[in-house]
Amino acid sequence: MIPLSIPNLCGNEKRYLAECIDSSFVSTVGPFVGRFEAMTAAAAGAEAAVATSAGTTGLHLSLLACGVLPGDLVVLPSFTFIASANAISHCGATPWLMDVDAGSWTLNPALLADELRRSTAPGPDGLIHVPSGRRVSAILVVYTLGMPADMDRIMGIAEQYGLPVVADAAAALGADYKGRNLGSLGPILSVFSFNGNKTVTCGGGGAVVGAAGPVLDMVRHLSGTARIGSDYTHDRVGFNYRMTNVEAAVGCAQMENLDRFVTAKRDIHRRYNEALIGHAGLTAFPDPEWANSACWFSGVIVPESGVDPVELRRRLNEQGIEARPFWKPLYLQQPYKDVPCSKQTVSEGIWSRIVTLPCSTGLSRADQDRVINAVLDATR
């Protein structure tokens, strides 16, 4: 079976893990954690980073540090992995779901501006969502598939309404926006994931990047059970959300190959597009002019009148090629069926027609050709 996306453990992973074992630093204290934070901040073009136990926990901490409170609403695109919404729910807040832009599958700035204009008003404690009476406390933007959203437009809207922005950049490490690194695009904090299927992995874990200062300091403070000083004194309810030295050791070895891995992802994406797009009505994942995607996943969009995507995935799996669907939008998920929601024209039109294809960074040209030929044969 050619798997969808597996880690490429081709560097110093074993060596660094042996150092952890030999030194006994296998938990949340150890030199690799700080080293990994520095490497992540540098890769994102940010001042500093805080390593966390997962991308989801990083989002949770970031929203709390930006002032999201129980009962609030947080703007979120509906076409995202459910973890983005769950991080909002963990704060006691509720997602306000908005549709995505057809040309990027990221938060639609025009829709965002229109929804805020029509549905909100200033209140004594901030911006109020008039239909529900709830405070709107933040925007959580998602860089879908490693593609940055149109951040200049989104940040302009956020500044107009006084809303902090957090970026779920889970799979976007290595991407850029108008030639600028992700750490310079305006969000107070950006969050990466290092799950096993990401371009760079720690086996698990995440990282929050941003400017050195009180907001990122709060993220670090909350991640370590809100402990102050060397004694067992805690000043608030915190969390045990720290990354282990073992995970960070793997991450350091992976980060040493970041550029090569992103190049491999983009090459696979390009080869699939060149060979498949236009055949049997297949179309490509979006590629807006403003960004250079990290190309986390590759695949095709099946036309509405073409081969059934479920059947296409079945045929590929029968040939030993793992092919999967992509995210079901949040407004269709049981926990979020009744939250505030805009019209979902784009999300509704695309989600069921997506077929993701193998795109591991170590995928050989021969296996790429095997995938291409199998898709061509299955869609004739």
Amino acid 303: pLDDT? 96
Please state the length of the chain: 380
- Residue among 193, 177, 199 at smallest CA distance from 264: 199
Task: Return the structure tokens found at 159.
Answer: 């500044």
Amino acid 255: pLDDT? 99
Amino acid 30: pLDDT? 96
Amino acid 10: pLDDT? 98
pLDDT of the chain, 380 residues: tens digit per residue: 999 999 999 999 999 999 999 999 999 999 999 999 999 999 999 999 999 999 999 999 999 999 999 999 999 999 999 999 999 999 999 999 999 999 999 999 999 999 999 999 999 999 999 999 999 999 999 999 999 999 999 999 999 999 999 999 999 999 999 999 999 999 999 999 999 999 999 999 999 999 999 999 999 999 999 999 889 999 999 999 999 999 999 999 999 999 999 999 999 999 999 999 999 999 999 999 999 999 999 999 999 988 899 999 999 999 999 999 999 999 999 999 999 999 999 999 999 999 999 999 999 999 999 999 999 999 99
- Residue among 285, 258, 281, 280 at smallest CA distance from 269: 285
CB of 358 within 8 A of CB of 2?
yes
Amino acid 306: pLDDT? 82
Q: Which domains does the chain carry?
A: 12-254 (3.40.640.10), 258-379 (3.90.1150.10)
Amino acid 244: pLDDT? 98
Per-position b or e across 123-150, b if 16+ CB within 10 A of its CB: eeebbbbeeeebbbbbbbbbbbbbbbbb
CB of 73 within 8 A of CB of 116?
no
pLDDT digits (tens, 9 = 90+) for 249-283: 999 999 999 999 999 999 999 999 999 999 999 99
CA atoms within a 13 Å half-sphere pointing along the CA-CB vector of 111: 22
Catalytic residues: 198
Give the bridge partners for 193, in sequence order: 206
**Rounded Cα–Cα distance for residues 278 and 79 (Å):** 25
**Rounded Cα–Cα distance for residues 117 and 127 (Å):** 11
Amino acid 239: pLDDT? 98
Amino acid 229: pLDDT? 86
